[in-house]
């Protein structure tokens, strides 16, 4: 059974204070690791898909990396508008659905 664990549960940063969110996973045959952003009252918004260890992707202040056991979402010089819950999910083997972690609630203070 696929398992996804995210840490920390909540993170408060000052504007400009860089940090990283962690997503550790246990799967049988990773087909993809996904990062989403979710704002209150809205559906998850797709950020990145990573497929193999060593892969990195960037979008504005966000950078996602992947190893064989975990993924990191690095946030560089965050702004208050980056405040949201960040979700990590995996797709594995022949499964077509995603298994989600519990999310990290990020708050960036001005």
Question: Cα separation of 28 and 87, whole Å?
Answer: 20
Instruction: Please report, as residue ranges, which positions from 35 to 94 form the binding site for another protein (by CB under 8 A).
Output: 36, 41-46, 49, 51, 87, 89, 91
Find the binder of another protein among 54, 81, 97, 110 (CB under 8 A). 97
Cα angle value 83/86/92 (rounded, 5°): 170
Instruction: Please report, as residue ranges, which positions from 14 to 33 form the binding site for another protein (by CB under 8 A).
Output: 31-32
Q: Please compute, for residue 72, the number of CA atoms within 13 A of its CA located in the half-sphere on the CB side.
A: 11
Find the binder of another protein among 21, 64, 92, 103 (CB under 8 A). 103
Q: Which is nearer to another protein, 78 or 101 (CB)?
A: 101
- CA-nearest of 14, 105, 25 to 72 is 25
57, 18, 85, 14: CA torsion to nearest 10: -160
Find the binder of another protein among 3, 52, 102, 107 (CB under 8 A). 102
User: What kind and span of H or E run contains 20?
Assistant: strand 19-26
Q: Which is nearer to another protein, 42 or 68 (CB)?
A: 42
**Which residues sit at the interface with another protein, rule CB under 8 A?**
31-32, 34, 36, 41-46, 49, 51, 87, 89, 91, 96-103
């Amino acid at each position: 059974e696929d398992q996804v664990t995210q840490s920390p549960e909540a993170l408060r940063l000052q504007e400009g204070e860089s940090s990283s969110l962690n997503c550790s996973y246990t799967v049988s045959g990773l087909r993809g690791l996904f990062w989403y952003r979710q704002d209150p009252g809205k559906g998850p918004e797709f950020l990145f898909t990573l497929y193999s260890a060593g892969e990195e992707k960037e979008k504005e202040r966000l950078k996602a990396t992947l190893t064989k056991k975990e993924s990191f979402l690095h946030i560089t010089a965050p702004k208050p508008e980056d405040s949201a819950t960040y979700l990590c999910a995996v797709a594995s083997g022949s499964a077509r659905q995603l298994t989600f972690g519990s999310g990290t609630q990020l708050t960036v203070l001005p």
